[in-house]
Amino acid sequence: MQIKLNNQIKILAEQSTVQQLLDDVMFENQKGIAVAVNRDVIQKDNWKNHFLNQNDEVLIIKATQGG
């Protein structure tokens, strides 16, 4: 299936969850991450249960320190 991840096309296996996507594209440290699917924020507790669909638009934001 095809989704858009941070404005880039990404191909995923069918029945992929938000958590599976994060595991695929990020390092193990997933602290400070916010995920939105089609402009709806997905709570971290729901990452394992939220299934992605064809043509979903996913935005991943990572907080960084700085001044």
The answer to whether residue 56 scores a pLDDT higher than 80 is yes
Predicted local confidence at residue 1, as pLDDT? 97
Give dist(CA 43, CA 25) in Å, integer: 18
- Mean pLDDT (the chain) is 93
Give the CATH class of 2-62: alpha beta
CA-wise closest residue to 26 among 65, 67, 58, 51 = 58
pTM of the entire structure?
A: 0.89
pLDDT tier at 55 (50, 70, 90 boundaries)? very high
Domain borders along the chain are 2-62
CB 33 within 8 A of CB 60: yes
- As a whole number of Å, the end-to-end CA separation of the chain is 39
The answer to whether residue 62 scores a pLDDT higher than 90 is no
